[in-house]
Amino acid sequence: MARITLIGPGAIGSTLAAWLSRIPEHDITIAARTAFSTIVLEKHDGRIETAPRVLTDPAQARPADWVLVTTKAYDSAAAARWFTTCVDDGTRVAVIQNGVEHVERFSPFVDASRILPVMIDCPATRHSPGHVTQGGPIHMAVPQGVPGTAFVGLFSGLDLDARETPDFVTAVWKKLCLNSAGAVSAALLAPAGIAHHAGVAEVLRGIVRECIAVGRARGAVLGDEIADEIVDRMRRGPRDASNSMLADRRAGRPMEIDARNGVIVRLGREYGIATPMNALMVALLEAAEL
């Protein structure tokens, strides 16, 4: 049995909470910003419905064995307000977000040794609070070790892929390569089909090549072919495929610009690697948010 508090029940958070509800031994609490009562997860072969305990006031939370944070990166400081009541000496904090700075984002709020970074690959969409669609399989990767083994154990027996990896750095930078390219769709308000334009494809490759260069400086093992693979993947998929930065911009929400492109510029500067394409994307998207 594990006491689990999930902070941020959006697309990813509600999807994971629905799956975890299938394990009756888990005691699950949802820490939400917006109140709701039921989670309905639609998936290709059916649905999972659950009525979890939902709190909206950090004062009502109690210490948990695991805190799973699934807010957007830009809501990290607000999410951490829950830590005062749901984190105690034995709590582990799994940060399930995009980007490569999971630990840095939360170490101002909890000892870094208790933070487990999680890479998640899962196309999930939220229609309304608690109502989500899982559009494909769930893959999660965590660093190999005792906390990683315990995290994977939380999902034991469920129809999803959660595993430890000996090279977490490469796993998150590979994901960042894909995510960094998403900035172009967000800037143009155009879905993935835009990759069929030869000039745009070259811009996408340029953004990803900068990400590869900075990722290698951080120790990730990234092949040159990733840039072409990402363009090919966007061209092969549905022309109207969105990404979460595009969805956020369309919905008038903030975007994870810093976690997905700003980080490449910041770390590039540290290593003396030029990142003009990502800097351009950051400037355009920041201006679009004004």
Ligand X SMILES: NC(=O)c1ccc[n+]([C@@H]2O[C@H](COP(=O)([O-])OP(=O)(O)OC[C@H]3O[C@@H](n4cnc5c(N)ncnc54)[C@H](OP(=O)(O)O)[C@@H]3O)[C@@H](O)[C@H]2O)c1
Is the CB of residue 51 less than 8 Å from the CB of residue 43?
A: no
End-to-end CA distance of the chain: 46
Shortest distance (Å) from residue 145 CB to ligand X: 22
| Position of minimal CB gap to ligand X | 10
Output 66 or 201, the one with its CB closest to ligand X.
66
> Can you tell me the distance from the alpha carbon of 83 to that of 60, in angstroms, rounded to the nearest whole number?
12
Output 129 or 262, the one with its CB closest to ligand X.
129
- The DSSP line for 66-93 is EEEE-S-GGGHHHHGGGHHHH--TT-EE
> Can you tell me the distance from the alpha carbon of 19 to that of 222, in angstroms, rounded to the nearest whole number?
32
Shortest distance (Å) from residue 102 CB to ligand X: 9
Shortest distance (Å) from residue 127 CB to ligand X: 10
Dihedral in degrees, nearest 10, Cα atoms 251, 256, 246, 203: 160
Output 201 or 243, the one with its CB closest to ligand X.
243
- DSSP conformational letter for 54: E
Q: Catalytic site residue 175?
A: yes
> Can you tell me the distance from the alpha carbon of 65 to that of 29, in angstroms, rounded to the nearest whole number?
11
Shortest distance (Å) from residue 126 CB to ligand X: 4
Binding residues (CB under 6 A) for ligand X: these are 7-13, 31-34, 70-73, 75, 78-79, 97-98, 120, 122-124, 126, 129, 244, 256
For β-strands 3-7 and 27-31, DSSP reports them as parallel
Shortest distance (Å) from residue 74 CB to ligand X: 9
Output 182 or 215, the one with its CB closest to ligand X.
182
Strands (E), the chain: 3-7, 27-31, 39-43, 46-50, 53-55, 66-69, 92-96, 115-121, 124-128, 131-134, 139-143, 161-165
Output 55 or 203, the one with its CB closest to ligand X.
55
- Active-site position among 43, 72, 174, 175: 175
Torsions phi, psi for 136 (to 5 deg)? -175, 180
Which SS3 state, helix, strand or coil, does residue 128 take? strand
Q: Identify the H or E element spanning 205.
A: helix 198-217
Shortest distance (Å) from residue 202 CB to ligand X: 25
Catalytic residues, by residue number, are 175
